[in-house]
Homo-oligomer: A and B are copies of this chain.
């Protein structure tokens, strides 16, 4: 059954056990489906009146630029994730969003969303839950950059991404397809691209993970968890938490 639904429905279903009615409301949220090419930003810092989207396929990243020209990627979004929820609440976007690959996304009209929330409150809970989880991930990212060394950061990042992708059926314990360049990893982890390359080599030579040709392969999952000091708890929802 879950296989019939969109990644978004699938993800929310992992948080809250949804009825068929709720699934239907969910599917009707998606209004206009749009396609964007890789590389061209779909949202700019400071831009007003942005729509929100639900990502159907492809990857995007949210980032901020510093005056010096360097950038920091705050988060990646994968199928099933919301884009620009905060930009709707604030009237203006506070970060940039760039598609990493070609993407398909469904526009979500604010009015529609609010209506869906009032008719099916469990849906509101599920969406807020997802939003809180995103924020928790930003926090974890912050902790990693502040207090982990390069190896730990990379290991943690690759595991976390795996856990998120598993939620929408795009990863297994073996690994997953990953379209990120080493430059993007660098901008996400607060490292230089050169160092990212070296760390990746190290992890590979230690028999922990291989990241080559757009494919992440966990060679020693448990070993990697140890290096990452990964807290299995915070993303491992085995079943719906709300019955």
Binding site for B on A (CB under 8 A): 46, 64, 66-68, 70-72, 74, 86, 89-91, 94-95, 128-129, 132, 135-136, 138-143, 145-148, 189-190, 229, 233-234, 241
Contact = CB atoms under 8 A, between A and B. Distances in A.
Contacts of A229: 66-68
A147 B86 contact: no
Contacts of A68: 229
Given A66-B148, A135-B86, A94 B234 contact: yes
A72 B135 contact: no
A67 to B, nearest CB: 5
Residue of A64, A94, A135, A142 contacting most chain B CB atoms (<10 Å): A142
B142 A145 contact: yes
A205 B89 CA distance: 42
- State the 5 A-B residue pairs at the shortest beta-carbon distance, nearest first: A146-B190, A72-B143, A72-B146, A142-B142, A72-B147
Contact of A89 (B128, B138, B146): B128
B138 A138 contact: yes
A46 B233 CA distance: 9
B66 A143 contact: yes
